[in-house]
Structure 1
Amino acid sequence: MKLTESPPPPEDAAVAKLILESDPKSLAQTLSNHSFRWTPNLVNNVLKRLWNHGPKALQFFKHLDRHPTYIHSTSAFEHAIDIAARLREYNTAWALVGRMRSLRCGPTPKTFAILAERYATGGKAHRAVKVFLSMHEHGCHQDLNSFNTILDVLCKTKRVEMAYNLFKTFKGRFKCDSVSYNIMANGWCLIKRTPMALQVLKEMVERGIMPTMVTYNTLLKGYFRCGQLNEAWEFFLEMKKRKCEIDVVTYTTMVHGFGVAGEVKRSKRVFDAMVKEGLVPSVATYNALIQVLCKKDSVQNALLVFEEMVGKGYVPNLTTYNVVIRGLCHSGEIEKGLEFMKRMEEHGCKPSVQTYNVLIRYYCDDGELEKGFELFEKMGNGTCLPNLDTYNILISAMFVRKKSEDLVVAGKLLIEMVGRGFLPRKFTFNRVLNGLVLTGNREFANDILRMQSRCGRILRNVKL
């Protein structure tokens, strides 16, 4: 019987693997030796695969920017700008914006949304606002959509008061709509200030803008976030009284809200009431119930709901699998969690970096470091590159046994993560350096200290 050969990897995976394995100095020659037919779709997919290795991704992008026939698409530029800004290489990001202009393929409102979000998540909210205000200087005029985007970016990074001041200043100029008000209401709910969210709802009505189901669902979630279960229930009853067309999102919010608060029976009753009223649960509703059961009830009951969901023809998504895998690992069934990861792969759902991180973390916590590293090695082949959390998990695990060789591994991981564009916290640098010194690896510690100086971090707690 002839064994069937496994299909070759997708072209983007092959390119990404080639880039990861090549020496940076010879990358251009390596790519030229292969007859790849560069298309915007292929380039975008390669950049996505290299997402967690920013320096390699940018090197690949710059190589193709000098290609004699291929010209980067707008989306490829935006991927590269996002990667550069995530690495806090803001000068590179703005140089790419200039290059877009010279090629007349942008920048677009999305380009500025990316930059604003990266500044805001990097703790530079004022720079994010400046990006929005300077759009017209780069040939891209602000409109209501771009205004809503900057409000959303500020709210999601908890700079809600700054967003509200901007909202008050420009709401007349941009003629704010229900989306603008919903963003502001959600912002106040995110920082647990529901009275301010209700004030936004009141102003919305006063200005003649009809609240939408998004508005009501946002406020409902806000009550749950604050632990105000009675107020959430009263608000839900008020929605019914006003004959709002209560949707699946409303019920999903209720299922999750009551469940996370420990009211598992109430959560199940809401789920059953939803079905009784003729509303079909979504995958998100099932995900909410499964998560609640994993956290507050038992993973076995969560698995019963999972199988019921599959039996009814629902296709579990990445969130479903991640919730189940986390639940299994938390209850000590790590091997079963690994089986679920294989199951998701068999059903065409690719594990994410979060999937790997959960399994690696629990293996390390359980003292199964070798199994954790096996998964880490699997990630390194370009399937799903490790992120900052992955490295932090593994570096922390290297301190458990207090062995000299483990601390050397921690040092190597630190060097690798910096090489991939991740900036470790000062605490991580200090911890690894001190560990190496205490275990007699002073020379290696010196090498890391020199590397650290190139990262621009100042260490104060290390004595070599």
Structure 2
Amino acid sequence: MPPQSQNKPHLDPKSGAPPEEAPPSSIARFVLAHSGDHHALSSRLSRHFSNSPWPPIIVDRVLKLLWNDGPRALLFFRSLLLLPSFRPAASSLDHAVDLAARLRDRRAIRFFLSLRSRLALPPSPRTFAILFERHTAAGNPDRAVRAFLSMHHQGCPQDLSSFNTLIDTLCKSSRVQKASSLLNVFQNRFPPDVVTYNIIADGWCRVKRTSKALEVLRQMVDSGIQPTKSTYNILLKGFFRAGQVKEAMGFFKQMKKRGKRDNPGDFECRPDVVSYTTMVHGLGLNGQLEKARKLLDEMVSEGCLPSVPTYNALIQVICKKGCVKDAILLFDEMVRKGYTPNSITYNLVIRGLCHAGKMDEAMEFLDRMKLDKCEPNVQTFNILLRYWLEEGEFEKGMELFSRMGEEEACLPNLDTYNVIISAMFVRRRPEDMLLAGKMVMEMVERGHLPRKFVFNRVLNGLLITGNQDFVKELLRMQEKHKRLNRSSRIQL
């Protein structure tokens, strides 16, 4: 088995202790070490913990820690449902629906939705927002629309807010034309507000059609709705997305000019921290680092304090266009000024160090991250893992992979497995193909679907290197896990 599976983490909590006394990470390891079904796990949980209720905050945290092992997360939740003292909270049920939808488990989705009804916890707008997103991500936006139309049958009234959530989901998946069509159909039933128009404008900006976004702005004004600061920031970002740097700079200057007028309606044009952050990032990506840095100083003089995302934006472009040493100097500057770097900040610097070939310094930054009480996430490990493997340091890469689940309580995601599998095809040794096959098996067991290309590539690699028996094992796994048939779709 892969290194991560050789020594499974073990938990031996105090017998009879209430659940809130055990760290969520320990409970997650406890679940990962379990080898039986949910009845057996429920029995073990009841032996190790008292009959006191499981706090929703603990349940939700454990589910999030197990997120990248969907089957185990649902195993844990189903085992809790068997405990007499357990009553699931609405937030936990939403997590369960989300996990089941990601796994495209139609039966589980229906079970959790019916459970909500039995517990007098009808699906909330949040529940349907999850379904909209999952249906759309599965390539079936029409089913997301049908889910919206069925809301009232499930005890959740339809309103403008839920409609906005639906079209936002569609726009973020580049289906802005469909979202616009729905707006035309339902505008009498759900008269659009400023949020609606902003969503559609952002959708057009995402597909780099700023002219259509400007049309939305005109429609908004014509309908008597005053644009907000968010509206202007959406358009500003849209210009940069479309590569219209001159237009973005001109629009920003207009914002500043109009924002200084005494007219109350023009106040919304005044650039805020989001506007400046957008400009810093956009100019930096365009190679204008000096202008981007000057904007950071200018915004302070204008009485607009930078935020952590502002520093993150500049650090990112410096790493991409400049020198990682300068990015670290900026990192230290923000710390001196009292800002607390987040995981995004650390990941940007770590990526910059890796890209510069400074792997040892990147690992030192990983240690610094932990010392600063900023927990590494799966993206952190994926960055380091990718570069170690690209450097040909397979042992160091796989050692880092082992650390993820054992020491850091950070389960690998689909990207993690794809990075490792791709690296195994560099040398094409029989043992490398064997490891690639084991990675496919592990990722499927954890609820991740390999792309058809990846699955077939591994099969061919195993055949070429003489691992025919393993090929048969993978084919049996494919037959067992019907989810490998990518034509399956979740339904409601």
Question: TM (normalized to structure 2)?
Answer: 0.89
CA distance in 2, matches of 1:205, 1:241: 20
Q: Establish whether residue 403 from structure 1 lines up as the match of residue 415 from structure 2.
A: no
Shift of 1:10: 5.3
Tell me the residue number matched to 1:447.
Answer: 473
Q: Name the CA distance, whole Å, in 2 between partners of 1:155 and 1:90.
A: 25
Match of 1:308 in 2: 333
Q: How far apart in 1 are the matches of 2:140 and 2:115?
A: 24
Q: Which residue of 2 aligns with 1:68?
A: 84
Matched letter for residue 298 of structure 2: A
Q: Distance in 2 between matches of 1:32 and 1:218?
A: 51
Matched, 1:48 2:53: no
- Distance in 1 (CA, whole Å) between partners of 2:26 and 2:128 is 32
CA distance in structure 2 between the partners assigned to 1:375 and 1:31 by the alignment: 31
Residue in 2 aligned with 1:427? Answer: 453
What residue number does 1:5 align with? none
Following the alignment from structure 1 to structure 2, what is the Cα–Cα distance between the partners of residues 113 and 339? 40
| 1:395 maps to amino acid | I
SS in 1 for 2:357: coil
Task: Please tell me whether residue 270 in structure 1 is matched to residue 286 in structure 2.
Answer: no
Contact kept? 1:22, 1:30, Cα under 8 Å = no
AA in 2 matched with 1:417: M
Return the alpha-carbon distance in structure 1 between the equivalents of residues 59 and 319 of structure 2: 39
Structure 1 letter corresponding to 2:435: V
Uncovered stretches (5+) of structure 1, i.e. residues with no partner = 1-7, 460-464
Q: Which amino acid aligns with 1:34?
A: H
**Alignment partner of 1:31 is 2:45:** yes
**1:190 is aligned with what amino acid?**
R
Deviating more after overlay: 63-72 vs 46-55 = 63-72
Q: Who is 2:16 aligned against?
A: none
Instruction: Tell me whether 393-402 or 45-54 shows the greater mean CA deviation.
Output: 393-402
Report what 1:12 is aligned to: 24
Computed over aligned residues only, the root mean square deviation of the Cα atoms, in angstroms, reads 1.5
Alignment of 1:139 with 2:155, yes or no, is: yes
Q: Quick one: structure 1 residues 157 and 448, their matched pair in 2 at CA, closer, same or farther if it must change by over 3 Å? A: same
Cα shift at 1:169: 1.6
1:462 paired residue number: none
The 1-side partners of 2:303 and 2:36 are apart by 59
Cα pair distance change 1:349/1:10, threshold 3 Å: farther
**Counterpart residue type for residue 109 of structure 1:** P
Give the residue type in structure 2 aligned to 1:143.
D
Match of 1:4 in 2: none
- The structural deviation recorded for 1:260 is 1.0
Match of 1:107 in 2: 123
Higher relative contact order (CA 8 A, sep 6+): 2
Pick aligned residue for 1:321 from 346, 350, 355: 346
Match of 1:293 among 304, 310, 318: 318
Report the Cα distance in structure 1 between the residues aligned to 2:256 and 2:26, rounded to whole angstroms: 54
Letter in 1 for 2:419: I
* Aligned-partner SS, 1:375: helix
Q: Partner amino acid for 1:412?
A: K
Query: Which whole-Å CA distance do the structure 2 matches of 1:104 and 1:81 have between them?
Result: 16
Query: Is 1:423–1:455's contact at 8 Å kept on the other side of the alignment?
Result: no
Instruction: Describe how 1:252-271 pairs up with structure 2 within 5 A.
Output: 252-271=277-296
Q: Are 1:352 and 2:377 an aligned pair?
A: yes
Residues 122 and 154, structure 2, Cα contact 8 Å, conserved in 1: no
Contact persistence 1:353–1:384 (CA under 8 A):
yes
1:190 aligns with 2:215: no
> Distance in 1 between the 2:361 and 2:164 partners?
44
Q: Which amino acid aligns with 1:11?
A: P
Stretch moving more, 220-229 or 88-97: 88-97
**Counterparts of residues 98-247 of structure 1 (less than 5 Å):** 98-243=114-259, 244-247=269-272
- Mapped partners of 1:229, 1:204: distance in 2: 25
CA distance in 2, matches of 1:66, 1:106: 21
Contact 2:210 2:235 survives alignment (8 Å) = yes
Identity percentage of aligned residues: 53
Corresponding position of 2:18: none
Contact 1:398 1:406 in 2 (8 A): yes
For the Cα contact (< 8 Å) 1:84–1:90, is it kept in 2? yes
Matched pairs, number: 452
Deviation at 1:72, TM superposition (A): 0.6
